[in-house]
Every structure is written in structure tokens, then in C-alpha cells.
């Protein structure tokens, strides 16, 4: 990979799921546009937060980047290699360079395997080191994520939720990946444990130089770990910006509404801050609205919003927004 080149480039990524009808002669009656034209880049050692409401396509984007879900269209370039059309055999040597931490650690850990077996399994799959080397590597990984060597002989059900997530992180780090995708890694944990896991991921990223996509719906969690944040709505990115820019001056009405929904632990400030009311429900990805997909719920929608889809326009300084209000000539 050339110096200063992006670790990951995603261009116009699309993931559509066909809706079939008929038993004898199945036919396609529509398509669920789960991801519909997503583009972003990720630098080595950078964390990109991917946020939005449930069902907006965040997790599907992560799975498509890992090629665990076949894309319908677009382009995925990882470490300078276009992997969009790679088959399973072609992806195998690349798998160890990209790993995932799932939302539910209990569901992603094999209950019949010990911690040593779980963490060491990627090393065995990719034939990394001898058996004695793998045992030593497992001990090192457990120490790295804040667990003890004695825990290696235990089973997942013997651990708390936070400890299980640490085991999942250790497993993902075993093959020394360049890219780590974290899909809601703290949403199932208590608030105090969330902070511990986020701090652990941040420390590991800084020490190992791992590029990270941190998927979440909680913007208060994403703020602590992300360098840049991309906001998704109904399969598309509506705004992307550096962390502090997004939180201090959000440009898209949907981003403003998400930030306004974060509670502030001060009744006086909470009572006086402006409200951004979003009405209605998220439309179906099977039949998304014409024009801007957010216009049916947007409090400042204009006539053009219902007919013309806004483009994700680069505003400079690493910031882009998809909104007619922000990109119209002034």
C-alpha cells in the first residue's frame, strides 16, 4: 500500500435485498435498499463513527465492507486492493487483516469452547505459529484486554457481559488486523462497563495503529472514540464531519435532531436548549421517499426536497453534507 494511501475506500456502495413472491415460479416484486450509495474513506489508525437509527443500514455496511455480505453495486478497496468481486478463496488471505467485534458477545462466542480455544482459534485457522506459540499468544492477548491467564480455561457463561466482550476483542486482535469493525460493541452492556470497553478499544487503536469503524446509535458513546463521524439515514450518509465540528455545528436537520435527543444532566440547560422535533416513522427501505429521503420528517423541508435527491457535497476540510439548505448557492 503506497504511503499516505487510505486503508479503506468505499465508493457508492449498494446492498439491495430482493423481495420474492410466488412458490412455483418465484419472481422479484421489489428490492429493500438497505444500503444505497454509501461512500467514505478510512485512514490507518483512524476511527470513523457510523451512527443512525436502527434499520438505517449501519450493520449491513459493515458486513459488506468485510465481504460477509455481497454488495449489489459500488466498490470496496482495502489496502489498495479492490475486493468488491473477490470470492471466498480470494478473500481468505485478506480475512486476517480485517476483523469484527459483534454486538452480543454471548451470541458470538462458542459456549462449548474455553476462552483459550476461542481466542486461539483464528491463529489455528490461519496457521499462525506452532501450538506452543499460540498458547503464549493467547496469554498475551488476555493480558492485553485486561483479563488474567487463569481465565483461559473457563467457558463464556462464567463471565460477565463486559468480560465476554473483552474476550471477543482479544479474538479479533489475535491475527493482528489492520481494520476492526465494531458493530454496537457496548450497547448490551451497563453504562459503567461501556466506558471501560470504549477506553480499551481506544487504547488498543492508539497502540496498534488499527483503523476502526465504530457502529452505534448512541452519539454520546461515539464522541469519545471517533475522529470523524458519518450519520446515516435510510441507507445513505447524510453528513460526515470531524467529531467536534459535528457536535458543535451540525448542518443536516437529521443530525441536529439526533444530537438534540441526547439528554443533558442539568434540568436548567435541558429546559432552555432548542428542540428539533422529528415527526412520523422511518419510511420503508422497500419504498423510500422520492427526493431527499428525510423530507417526509424534516421540519424545514422545501418543495425541492420532495423531488430532487440532494448530493453528498464536499464542503471542504473533510466535511460533507447531503441537504439542499446547505448546498444551495448563497
pLDDT on residue 161 = 87
- Contact (Cβ atoms closer than 8 angstroms) between residue 169 and residue 201: yes
DSSP secondary structure of 132-195: HHHHHHHHHHHHHTT--GGGGGS-GGGS-HHHHHHHHHHHHHTT--SEEEEESTTTTS-HHHHH
- The reported pLDDT for the residue numbered 210 is 95
What pTM does this model have? 0.91
Say what the pLDDT of residue 28 is.
Answer: 85
Task: Spell out the residues 6+ positions from residue 265 whose beta carbon is closer than 8 angstroms to its own.
Answer: none
- Distance from the Cα of residue 211 to its chain's centroid: 12
CA–CA distance, 84 with 53 (Å, rounded to integer): 27
pLDDT of residue 269: 63
So where are the chain's domains?
8-97+177-327, 106-176
| Per-residue pLDDT at 272 | 66
DSSP 113: S
- Provide the pLDDT for residue 195: 86
- Which one, of 231, 275, 281, 272, lies nearest residue 254 by Cα? 231
Residue 66, by phi and psi: left (phi above 0), alpha (psi -120 to 50) or beta?
Answer: alpha
Closest CA to 194 of 216, 171, 170, 227: 216
pLDDT in tens, 73-125: 999 999 999 999 999 999 988 988 999 999 888 888 999 999 999 999 999 98
Q: Among positive and negative, which fits the CA dihedral 108, 110, 114, 119?
A: negative
Low-confidence ranges of the chain (pLDDT < 70): 1-3, 265-266, 268-277, 328-330
Residue entry with cell 454488495: 71
246: nearest Cα among 263, 261, 236, 258: 258
Q: What is the spatial distance between Cα 120 and Cα 116, in angstroms, rounded to a whole number?
A: 6
pLDDT of residue 87: 92
Which architecture, in CATH terms, is 8-97+177-327?
3-Layer(aba) Sandwich (3.40)
70 and 83 in contact (C-beta within 8 Å)?
no
Amino acid at each position: 500500500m503506497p504511503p499516505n494511501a487510505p486503508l479503506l475506500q468505499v465508493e457508492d456502495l449498494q446492498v439491495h435485498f430482493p423481495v420474492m413472491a410466488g412458490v412455483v415460479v418465484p419472481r422479484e416484486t421489489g428490492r429493500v435498499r438497505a444500503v444505497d450509495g454509501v461512500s467514505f474513506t478510512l485512514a490507518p489508525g483512524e476511527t470513523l463513527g457510523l451512527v443512525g437509527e436502527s434499520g438505517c443500514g449501519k450493520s449491513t455496511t459493515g458486513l459488506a465492507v468485510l465481504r460477509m455480505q455481497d454488495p449489489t453495486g459500488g466498490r470496496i478497496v482495502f489496502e489498495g486492493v479492490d475486493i468488491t468481486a473477490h470470492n471466498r478463496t480470494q478473500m481468505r488471505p485478506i480475512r486476517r487483516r480485517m476483523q469484527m467485534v459483534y454486538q452480543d458477545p454471548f451470541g458470538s462466542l462458542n459456549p462449548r469452547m474455553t476462552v483459550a480455544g476461542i481466542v486461539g482459534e483464528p491463529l489455528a485457522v490461519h496457521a499462525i505459529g506452532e501450538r506452543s506459540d499460540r498458547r503464549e499468544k493467547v496469554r498475551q492477548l488476555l493480558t492485553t484486554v485486561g483479563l488474567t491467564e487463569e481465565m483461559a480455561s473457563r467457558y463464556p457463561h462464567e463471565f460477565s457481559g463486559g468480560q465476554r466482550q473483552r474476550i471477543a476483542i482479544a479474538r479479533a486482535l489475535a491475527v493482528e488486523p489492520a481494520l476492526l469493525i465494531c458493530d454496537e460493541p457496548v450497547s448490551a452492556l451497563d453504562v459503567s462497563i461501556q466506558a471501560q470497553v470504549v477506553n480499551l478499544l481506544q487504547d488498543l487503536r492508539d497502540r496498534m495503529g488499527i483503523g476502526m469503524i465504530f457502529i452505534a446509535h448512541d452519539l454520546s458513546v461515539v464522541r469519545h472514540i471517533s475522529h470523524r463521524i458519518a450519520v446515516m439515514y435510510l441507507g445513505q450518509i447524510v453528513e460526515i464531519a470531524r467529531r467536534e465540528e459535528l457536535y458543535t455545528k451540525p448542518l443536516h436537520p437529521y443530525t441536529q435532531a439526533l444530537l438534540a435527543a441526547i439528554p443533558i444532566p442539568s434540568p436548567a440547560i435541558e429546559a432552555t436548549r432548542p428542540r428539533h422535533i422529528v415527526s412520523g416513522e422511518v419510511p420503508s427501505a422497500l419504498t423510500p421517499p422520492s427526493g431527499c429521503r428525510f423530507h417526509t420528517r424534516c421540519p424545514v423541508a422545501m418543495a425541492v426536497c420532495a423531488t430532487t435527491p440532494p448530493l453528498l457535497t464536499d464542503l471542504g476540510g473533510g466535511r460533507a453534507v447531503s441537504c439542499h439548505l446547505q448546498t444551495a448557492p448563497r
